[in-house]
Structure 1
Amino acid sequence: MDFSLMLDSSLDPSVFDDILNHIYSAIETNQTNICTTLMREYIKKWPNWEFKDFKKSGSTPLICACQNGSLSVAEFLVINLGFPVSDCGTVRFEHEVIEDAPPIWVASAAGHIAVVKFLLQSGADVNAVTSTNSTSLRAACFDGHLDIVEYLIENGADLEIANQHNHTCLMIACYKKHFEIVKVLVKNGAQVNRRSRKGNTALHDCAEGGCVEIMKFLLDNGATFQRDEYNVSPLMAAAISAHTSVVRFIMDTYITPITDETVIAEEVDRGSRISPREQIDVLEMLGCSMIDKKQDLLEGLKWWRRASEMRTLYHSVGLVELLKDIAQPVEEMENIVEYQSVEDVEEMMQEYNPDHIRMQSLLVRQRLLGFKHPDTTYYIRYRGAVLADSGDYERCLELWRYVLRNLVNNLDPLCCNILLCAIQSYVELFGFLFYTQKHDRFRQVYPTPSPNLVKLEDVLSVLQACIVLYKFHKKTSSKNPVEQSIAYQNKTDHTCMKLMCKLVVYFSLVKEDDLKQIELKSDSKKALDRVELFTEQMESLLSDIISYDIRDGDGNTLLHVIMSSDCCGAERHRITEYPHLPAIEIMLKLYRSVIYDLDLGNKEHFSALELFFKQSGDSSECKQLQQVLDLFENYGSHIDYDAETRTDFCPLLKYNDRALKYNESQEYEKFLAIADDQEVNEEDFEKLPLKIRSLKCLSAKAVLENDCDFSQMCEHLRSYVLKH
């Protein structure tokens, strides 16, 4: 390789990217000589180099060396070039991207103890954290690097620094079933009964991981049974995860043949006994887990039979009621009545109707865990997805409506992520239905669909849920702001805003299809009134949220977001052309009526129109640009904003530049057609009109240039003048 040619300062700057690629490639393949040679030559050519020159996609050469265990490269970077051992960067492990990761965290996660030792000896902070507050010790515990765990603890690692969810090193070691690491942590004073933000302890993680040996060890070292924020005990957690070995161990150890209710109550309070009611509930939950998680319906029915038999036994000595409090029948679940007795279970075994058994499981799980637990809604949504895969979209939507309604009605901080996942699933399903119902392949799966499976009321209810979630999330996060979770909050805000805009696109698509169907009907007034009612409700919801001037982390408004290409498709399907002008027009209309200003800038001072031209101006068809520009201009947007200060981003100038090139190409094509003696259709060679500055803009500039007093103007006019 000719390094001198590569590093020729006269070469195009794009070559510098190639240099970086070679440097990182050399580090990843442990070619130390190539890496050091390239970096030395680079520094020699550019004496004023900075550390940031070597950054690539958020990573650094030192981060890369730590991930790949290149000790010699790490030593060269730190000792010879002075790279700081505290300089954080982005790193990817499998499919997860870690932001702001310190080099020592990366080396610990990757299991390179020699690099860890070198970094600590070079002054690295043993307790440095990532953006999620994860320490090097937690990283080593996660992946089971016992030697690194021991070395970090010897050098002052804090065992109790928890991540952003208050999840400790001991908890993650228990969940990952790293028994030797658990022993080391407990030996060095890890708190065995510490609780995470959701109230779970190391025993919960141990139960979910399914390791009986670690559970025995924790109990021998002072761990006690506690319930988390979902009112779930470690025993119930094991049943939810279908770990029968853990369930058997706990029940065999903490169930004694006592029938005195007073003695039982005292032992339950001390945590040395499992109550009869919980024993029965756990066996029922284990049955649900076998049915839903393991897909073993017969095994699930056997656990339900055991639960019913246990209830009969405990009832005979007066400890429980014979009849349990069953879940109320649910219309969306076909009004199935939950089983009550051993005879009911045996009847299910004989008839063996899989659909009925699965619906029973959903009812039992809902009764035992409630709607706040993520598994309750997950398995209802999963059942709906299975029905959708078989072509029964109506039943899928019924189940999902039930989930959405209950989550909105029971919304609290525990439910925010669950509701967000439910909304995302809904939006994905809508996109899939829009895409597939127009294709022959869909007809083969679902031969006689209704004209439009997606209904206005469904889109409206999901939009309402999304707005409720956004408001609730903003309210709770403002009351309890945590610095380390700001990035997460911004991500949630942006996700909600993107979903709102997608739903506006979907609403306009459904409305368009409904109006086409109404035209074919003789008695259409009632249907038309219904469409108009839903439209008014949708606009009212959006007007309300727009009045808050909501923004994402980059300062983008809903008007900015709806201009992005993401809003015109589901995750895997493009469902309409981009940009979708009817949805954009809805947003323009509402922003004009609520905020009056269509040129609101984000943090980089780009208006929605400018951002569109910046991101898509060169890739969109020229006629599409004309339509977008006309639409914004008709609603009063300032299309020549920044015409003199930022010419590269001014919509007016960028459009005119494209239009001129388009017109020239049209003239050339017309010339070729005439030269070939072809019949020329003038409509095929229609020119695009150029845009000129509006009289309003010229008037505003005149007001400023002549020092006119405009203090008495109304607010939106003063704002307009000041833009010039």
Structure 2
Amino acid sequence: MDFSIIIDPGFDSLLLENFLDLIYHAIERDQAGKVIELLNAFIKRRPEWTSDDFRKSGSTPLICACQHGNLAVAQFLIESLGLPVDQCGTVRFEHEVIEDAPPIWVASAAGHIAVVKYLLQHGADVNAVTSTNSTSLRAACFDGHIDIVEFLIHNGADIEIANQHNHTCLMIACYKKHFEIVKVLVKSGSQVNRRSRKGNTALHDCAEGGCVEIMKFLLDNGATFQKDEYGVSPLMAAAISAHTSVVRFIMDTYICPITDETNVAQEVDRGSRVSPNEQIDVLEMLGCSMIDKKQDLTEGLKWWKRASEMRVLYHSVGLVEAFKKVASPVPEMSNIIEYQTVDDVEVMQAEFTPDYIRMQSLLVRQRLLGFKHPDTTYYIRYRGAVLADAGDYNRCLKLWRYVLRNLVENLDALCCNILLCAIQSYVELFGFLFHTQNNETFRHIHPGVETNLVEIEDVLSVLKACIALYKFHKAAAIKNPADHFISFQNKTDLTCMKLICKLIVFFSLVREDELKPKKKSTDEEQSIICKKMEDYSEEIEFLLAEVVASNIQDTEGNTLLHVIMSSECCGVERHRITEYPHLPAINILLRVYKTILCDVDLTNNKRFTALELFFKNLTKNAEIEKVGNVLKLFESYGSHIDFNADYRPDFCPLFVYNERASKHNMAMFTKRLEAIQNETRAQNNGTGADNSENQSSMSSNPENFPMFPLKVQSLQCLSAIAVLENECDFSSLCEHLKKFVKKH
């Protein structure tokens, strides 16, 4: 096989990609001979090759060989080519992408013990970790490869190295119900009561996994019941996960028929008994899980009835209150009051109204877990999504607004990720509603629905929540830089910035629609609406001013102005919401940046302004009129369209626009000339007065052939350039003029 064309040093990069595809496909198909032939041909043709030449989408041939158990290829790569045994790369397992994975981690996760042994024999680090601090031992524990687990431990693997969430190998083995691996880890000295970053122990993971045998084993080996940072015990964790077998085991083992209040309190304090109140709470939570997780309303009501009967029993001996303390009714939750008695449950069983029962479940879960627990908000948002699918968008938005308000009020490290998920769900719903309300089919099916399915108050409430989350993140970064590194790694700050920009677009769309004259509205009513929209505009600019003043940026130094110039802000997932670029939204940010920082030409780490970034990403088929409107808008706020003209002329707005405008004008001139020639030809051939008249009209009407003027540098800019070129002393100028000159 002749690969000389493909692997020539000066060949096209696409051909190299095809060549690498051949190598990786051959590895996946266990064609070691073909792989070796390809690699030998490559290195013979390229004596100056490096290991990075073989990288493809972050992966390496060794990573690929380890994933597919191709030992012969691994041996050739390490022994013949001398590739590093610990060179990390990207690997994909089903839908999971693992970054910076060492080859031994990949082989352990895939279950290829022969490859694992070979790598260790050739110097691989048994405790090497991925970007999330996961070890090879943890990878083997996750997928249940007990032979690899035993081998790694025997060869010095540290069983206590936890991942970035401080989640240990024992915890993941318990969650995945790998009993034999749990035995090996405990026998090797694993700490059974170690806590993760969120306070859960191996018993919690065992309860969530639903394995009674593992739980018995852990308890026999010193495990104790503890609550995590959400206040959830292993017993409650089992109820949340709807594992009735685990719940029954703990309740049967740790509840005894003690009726004396003092003795019960002593036993609970020792940790050898479950308190009466917790017993009732667990049964109620089990009912919620049956309703929400298992979709079994009848079974859920049975558990609620049992909990209510238990309350009556314990109250009769003075161990619990007669009634539970429930929250006051709120409009967003349909003003429903949580049930209290056995009779209340029996009424629900008799009437059996699914919507009412599910709302009751949301109230019970909220009381037992609080808003900081992810399940509380998840099921409220899920209920809202179900209502939205049924066309009841109003109730959906109310429920989600309730979630946002409570999360912002209780914002801390535990629920910041929950709030981010809630905001993302809201933005996705907005995108769907904007797309839906312009759909003719939807209008035909729901003729009574208002034009605007999205209300401006909802957009503002989500924007406030997003800004609150960003500010919380920024404060946490200042307090603990190490945690902030993780947050940047997870791109939380960039996500917040994208969401803020999308919400600005949504706001401007709703405002535009509200300001359109309505058929039946009077002048006075229209005036009130205009005043109201002005107030909203002032409010959103005030909110944005606060974050702009705090120097909001992502890791690449991009500002909100940079982000909003992306086409991504004009759509949500597959739905295109409005035309790109959306000038009204850009105008809002330009006004804020001009007011707060007196500058709309802020640069990112690569020295690109927002306007330059727009021209850099400009597509070939972008309409010159839209491009001109963007340039005109930025100019109106004092942007310098000749920015970086000498340093980066290919992306200079002035040069790029003029080049596009010249091509457009030439095309229009050619088109006009052809029209005149056709008109003259028709007249000479006597083809008819009507056609000649039409051609004459078209050729003489400038509106049919719009020409765009070329842009020029302003006198101020030319003066500033002259000052710099002639090395004039401008130290006596005022500060804003100094900055102006330095920009050039």
Q: Give the TM-score taking structure 1 as reference length.
A: 0.97
Question: In the alignment, what sits opposite 2:371?
Answer: 371
Equivalent residue, structure 2, for 1:625: 627
In structure 2, the partner of 1:414 is 414
User: For 1:547-562, what aligned pairs fall within 5 Å after superposition?
Assistant: 547-562=549-564
Tell me if structure 2 keeps the 8 A contact 1:596–1:716.
Answer: no
Deviation at 1:595, TM superposition (A): 1.2
CA shift digits 1:229-269 (9 cap, x unpaired): 00000000010111111111110111111112222222212
Q: Is the 8 A contact 2:8 2:46 kept in 1?
A: no
AA aligned opposite 1:199? G
TM-superposition CA deviations, 1:150-171 (whole Å, max 9, x none): 1111111111111111111111
- Residue in structure 2 matched with residue 195 of structure 1 by the alignment: 195
Q: Is the 8 A contact 2:476 2:484 kept in 1?
A: no
Say yes or no: does 1:710 pair with 2:710. no
1:36/1:661 CA distance change after superposition, 3 Å: farther
Cα contact 1:144–1:178 (8 A) shared by 2:
yes
What CA deviation, in whole Å up to 9, does each residue of 1:431-488 have, x standing for no partner?
1111101112222553311231211111111111100100101212332232795364
1:595 aligns with 2:597: yes
Match of 1:610 in 2: 612
- In structure 1, distance between residues paired with 2:112 and 2:520: 71
Question: Does structure 2 retain, via aligned residues, the 8 Å contact 1:200–1:229?
Answer: yes
Q: Which amino acid aligns with 1:439?
A: N
Decide whether aligned partners of structure 1 residues 349 and 330 sit closer, same or farther in structure 2, where only a CA change above 3 A counts.
Answer: same
Aligned to 1:133: 133
Following the alignment from structure 2 to structure 1, what is the Cα–Cα distance between the partners of residues 482 and 88? Answer: 20
Tell me how far apart the structure 1 counterparts of residues 82 and 113 of structure 2 sit (CA, whole Å). 21
Give 2:60's aligned residue: 60
* Among 546, 569, 574, the residue aligned to 1:567: 569
TM alignment of 1:330-409, pairs within 5 A: 330-409=330-409
- Is this contact kept in 2: 1:208–1:243, CA < 8 A? yes
Task: List aligned pairs for 1:685-696, cutoff 5 A.
Answer: 685-696=705-716
Q: Residue 139 of structure 1: CA displacement?
A: 1.0
1:642 aligns with 2:662: no
Most deviating of 528-537 and 441-450: 441-450
- Write the distance in 2 (CA, Å) between the matches of 1:4 and 1:220: 67
Task: Output the amino acid matched with 1:574.
Answer: R
After superposing the two structures, state which structure 1 stretch, 471-480 or 490-499, moved more.
471-480
Matched AA of 1:110? A
* C-alpha distance in 1 between matches for 2:254 and 2:164: 34
Distance 1:493 1:587, change over 3 A: same
Q: State the secondary structure of the residue aligned to 2:605.
A: coil
Contact 1:132 1:484 in 2 (8 A): no
Say whether the 8 Å CA contact 1:490–1:552 is kept in structure 2.
Answer: no
- Percent of pairs with identical residues: 69
Letter in 2 for 1:426: Y
Q: Is the 8 A contact 1:193 1:202 kept in 2?
A: yes
* Partner in structure 1 of residue 538 of structure 2: 536
Partner Cα distance (1:539, 1:712) in 2:
35
- Cα offset for 1:517? 4.2
Report how far residue 593 of structure 1 moved. Answer: 1.2
Aligned counterparts of 1:109 and 1:676: Cα–Cα separation in 2? 72
Give 1:269's aligned amino acid: D
Which amino acid is the alignment partner of residue 631 of structure 1?
A: L
SS of match in other structure, 1:648 = helix
Distance of 1:9 and 1:380 partners within structure 2: 58
Compared CA separation, residues 220 and 20, structure 1 to 2 (3 A): same
Structure 1 residues 714 and 174: alpha-carbon distance in aligned structure 2, compared to 1, 3 A threshold: farther
Q: Which amino acid aligns with 1:615?
A: N
Question: Matched residues in 2 for 1:229 and 1:610: separation?
Answer: 47
User: Secondary structure at 1:90's aligned position in 2?
Assistant: strand
Q: C-alpha offsets along residues 312-359 of structure 1, whole Å, 9 cap, x if unaligned?
A: 111122211222212321221111111111111001111111111111
2:739 matched to 1:719? Answer: yes
Q: Secondary structure at the match of 2:242?
A: coil
Superposed CA offset, 1:534-585 (max 9, x none): 1101000001100111111111110000011110011220010011111111
Q: Is the 8 A contact 2:4 2:45 kept in 1?
A: no
Per the alignment, residue 91 of structure 1 pairs with 91
The gaps in structure 1 that reach 5 residues or longer are none
Q: How many angstroms apart in 1 are the aligned matches of 2:490 and 2:603?
A: 18
Question: 2 CA distance for matches of 1:338 and 1:526?
Answer: 41
Q: Which amino acid aligns with 2:632?
A: D
Number of corresponding residues: 724
Question: In the alignment, residue 159 of structure 1 is paired with which amino acid?
Answer: I
**Change in 2 beyond 3 A, CA 1:189/1:444:** farther
Residues 99 and 489 (structure 1 numbering): CA distance in 2 closer, same or farther, change over 3 Å?
Answer: closer
Q: Counterpart in 2 of 1:4?
A: 4
Q: Tell which deviates more after alignment, 377-386 or 656-665.
A: 656-665
Higher mean C-alpha displacement, 504-513 vs 708-717: 708-717
Structure ID, larger Rg: 2
Structure 1 residue aligned with 2:450: 450
**Which residue number corresponds to residue 432 of structure 2?**
432
Give, in whole Å, the separation in 1 of the partners of 2:671 and 2:270. Answer: 88
Check the 8 A contact 2:129/2:135 in 1, yes or no: yes
> What's the secondary structure of 2:5's corresponding residue?
helix
Q: Which amino acid aligns with 1:248?
A: R
Distance 1:409 1:73 in 2: 57
The code of the aligned residue for 2:268 comes to V
Deviation, 1:673, is 3.8
Paired AA for residue 652 in structure 1:
L
- Distance across 1 between alignment mates of 2:161 and 2:261: 42
Shift of 1:417: 0.6
Q: Which range is displaced more, 499-508 or 422-431?
A: 422-431
Deviation of the 1:5 alpha carbon: 3.4
Structure 2 Cα separation of the partners of residues 547 and 169 of structure 1? 45
Query: Who is 1:113 aligned against?
Result: 113
1:701 aligns with 2:735: no
Q: CA deviation at 1:518?
A: 5.8
Rounded Cα–Cα distance in structure 2 between residues aligned with 1:321 and 1:543: 51
Q: What is the distance in 2 between the residues matched to 1:673 and 1:74?
A: 69
Q: Distance in 1 between matches of 2:145 and 2:677?
A: 76
- 1:20-419 aligned at under 5 Å gives the runs 20-419=20-419
CA shift at 1:501, angstroms? 0.3
Contact 2:488-2:555 within 8 A present in 1 as well:
no
Distance 1:283 1:531 in 2: 50
Inter-CA distance 405–8: structure 2 relative to 1 (3 Å threshold): closer
Give 5+ residue unaligned stretches, structure 2: 680-690
Is the alpha carbon distance of 1:91 and 1:130 closer, same or farther for their aligned partners in structure 2, counting shifts above 3 Å?
A: same
Output the amino acid matched with 2:436. T
Q: Is the 8 A contact 1:164 1:484 kept in 2?
A: no
- Separation (CA, whole Å) in 2 of partners of 1:411 and 1:484: 17
**What is the SS of the residue equivalent to 2:581?**
coil
Question: Secondary structure of the equivalent of 2:575?
Answer: coil
Amino acid at match of 1:95: H
Aligned CA distance change for structure 1 residues 487 and 64 (closer, same or farther; 3 Å): farther
TM-score (normalizing by structure 2): 0.95
Q: Do the aligned partners of residues 36 and 684 (structure 1) sit closer, same or farther apart at CA in structure 2, a change above 3 Å counting?
A: farther
1:645 and 1:192 map into 2 onto residues whose CA distance is: 61
Distance in 1 between the 2:25 and 2:623 partners? 39
Q: Identify which range, 15-24 or 485-494, moves more after superposition.
A: 485-494
* Structure 1 residue aligned with 2:658: 656
Which SS does the other structure have where 2:380 is aligned? helix
